């Protein structure tokens, strides 16, 4: 059935052709001819900019979703949240580094304090003392026994002082040095030197001070302690008297010490003045060792033993006296000899031939013994 248009109402139904099959729809054009259109319908095309924008939106959407941000959140909020999340991530990754950086100053302070505490707990210094074994310019050697005939022949056949000195010390002799006159010392000191009318003989030793401290230690005074003297037991004296010469660099003191001793023996300004009045010994703080040569003079005919107490100051405000001790922890004992008053054998040589002063006491140079 087909329908036809009516001006007064809806179209009436019309019978379909060919058995009532519905008619194919026909396209209508805007033209008057009513011909069917041959061009298919076209969809709108998206630009590349829109595509990239969509991709960015997808990335932000994924990131926002991963961070639990609401789907409708603004881009600015998304950016802020992302930056905050990245900052937190960096803090987590570099946490240890940041903590170490923040703690550098406290750690350094604690480390320095610990080092200072350890340094202050160490011994301020140790001291070793040894006799001077090298041949002095002028010397005397004392022995606790007499020389045998063979030893006497061998000794007096020596042509030089070095050979005789080595031979006597090999026999167990104790070497002494003639103490040079301190010509540039104050008059109060030189008067004491010449009052006896005899040259003094000193027992010479070297004192080496060692320190492992990283801060400086200053030794600024010392004193002789616990002096005990007895009569010398030496039986033989062999002397190579002075041939002239200046004083050695170092210090000098008598046993027991006189006022203001030890004194400076350098052949410079200050000779004969108290050594620790203008000088000190510094060790530690990059200077691990220091030393000094000392001349100790015992009373004539005496053999003395004595100790040393040293005063020091350090950077930890510690200043005190300490008694020097030996390797066994006992108080260090120094031994200072002198020439016996009436030895059984006395020999002198040098500017004169070998002379037995115990047989010919009036011979030249015998009065120097």
b/e 316-347 (16+ beta carbons within 10 angstroms → b)? eeeeeeeebeeeeeeebebebbbbbeebebbb
Tell me the DSSP string of 343-361. Answer: -SEEEE-SSS--EETTT-T
The listed range with the strongest mean pLDDT (19-28, 44-53, 157-166, 265-274) is 157-166
Residue 136 neighbours by CB under 8 Å, 6+ apart: 175, 177, 178, 204
Whether the model clears a pTM of 0.75, i.e. scores above it, the answer is no
| In contact, 217 and 282? CB cutoff 8 Å | yes
pLDDT tens, 102-125? 666 665 666 666 667 787 788 888
pLDDT of residue 198 exceeding 80, the answer is: no
Mean pLDDT of 209-230: 93
Region of 265 (left: φ > 0; alpha: ψ -120 to 50; beta: rest) is alpha
Residues in the chain: 369
Q: State the burial class of residue 152 (Cβ atoms within 10 Å of its Cβ: 0-12, 13-18, 19+).
A: middle
- Name which of 157, 356, 364, 362 is nearest 237 in CA terms: 356
Helix (H, G, I), strand (E, B), or coil: what is residue 323? strand
DSSP three-state, residue 285: coil
Residues with Cβ within 8 Å of residue 34, at least 6 apart in sequence: 26, 28
User: Tens of pLDDT along 259-286?
Assistant: 889 999 987 778 999 999 989 999 998 8
Would the pLDDT of 246 be above 80?
Answer: no
Band (pLDDT 50/70/90 cuts) for residue 9 is very low
Query: In the predicted model, is pLDDT for residue 339 greater than 80?
Result: yes
> For residue 223, is the peptide bond before it cis, meaning its omega torsion is within 30 degrees of 0?
no
Q: Are 213 and 288 in contact (CB under 8 A)?
A: no
Report how far residue 207's alpha carbon sits from residue 132's, in angstroms, rounded to the nearest whole number: 10
Q: What is the dihedral of CA 315, 320, 323, 326, to 10 degrees?
A: -10
The β-bridge partners of 347 are: 238, 356
Of the listed ranges 1-5, 61-65, 198-202, the one predicted with least confidence: 1-5
Whether the CA torsion 88, 89, 92, 96 is positive or negative: it is negative
Q: CB neighbours of 119 closer than 8 A, spacing ≥ 6?
A: 213, 214, 215
Quick: pLDDT tens for 135-152: 988 999 999 999 999 999
- Provide the H-helix boundaries in the chain: 17-20, 48-66, 75-93, 95-102, 104-121, 149-156, 161-170, 187-194, 275-278
Pairing of strands 201-210, 174-178: antiparallel
- Cα separation, 277 vs 279, whole angstroms: 6
Residue 223, pLDDT above cutoff 90:
yes
Residue 230 has pLDDT above 80, yes or no: yes
């Amino acid at each position: 059935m087909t329908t036809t248009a009516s001006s007064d109402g809806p179209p009436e139904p019309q019978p379909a052709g060919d058995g009532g099959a519905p008619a194919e729809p026909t396209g209508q054009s805007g033209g008057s001819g009513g011909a069917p259109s041959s061009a298919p319908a076209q969809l709108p095309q998206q630009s590349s900019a829109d595509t990239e924008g969509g991709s960015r939106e997808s990335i932000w959407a994924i990131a926002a979703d991963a961070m639990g941000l609401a789907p409708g959140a603004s881009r600015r909020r998304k950016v802020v949240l992302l930056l905050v999340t990245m900052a937190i991530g960096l803090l987590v990754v570099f946490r240890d580094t940041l903590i170490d950086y923040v703690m550098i100053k406290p750690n350094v302070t604690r480390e320095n304090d610990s080092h200072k505490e350890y340094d202050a707990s160490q011994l301020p210094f140790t001291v070793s003392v040894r006799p001077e074994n090298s041949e002095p310019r002028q010397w005397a050697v004392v022995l606790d026994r007499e020389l045998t005939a063979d030893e006497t022949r061998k000794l007096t056949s020596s042509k030089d002082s070095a050979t005789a000195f080595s031979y006597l010390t090999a026999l167990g002799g104790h070497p002494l040095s003639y103490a040079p006159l301190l010509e540039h010392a104050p008059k109060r000191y030189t008067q004491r030197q010449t009052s006896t009318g005899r040259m003094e003989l000193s027992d010479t030793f070297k004192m080496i001070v060692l320190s492992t401290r990283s801060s400086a230690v200053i030794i600024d005074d010392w004193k002789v302690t616990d002096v005990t003297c007895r009569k010398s037991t030496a039986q033989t004296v062999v002397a190579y008297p002075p041939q002239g010469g200046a004083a050695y660099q170092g210090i000098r003191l008598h046993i027991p010490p006189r006022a203001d001793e030890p004194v400076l023996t350098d052949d410079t300004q200050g000779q004969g003045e108290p050594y620790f009045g203008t000088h000190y010994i510094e060790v530690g703080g990059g200077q691990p060792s220091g030393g000094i040569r000392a001349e100790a003079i015992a009373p004539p005919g005496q053999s003395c033993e004595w100790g040393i107490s040293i005063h020091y100051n350090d950077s930890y405000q510690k200043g005190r006296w300490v008694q020097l001790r030996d390797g066994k922890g006992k108080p260090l004992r120094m031994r200072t000899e002198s020439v016996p008053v009436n030895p059984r054998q006395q020999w002198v040589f040098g500017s004169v031939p070998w002379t037995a002063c115990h047989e010919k006491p009036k011979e030249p140079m015998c009065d120097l013994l």
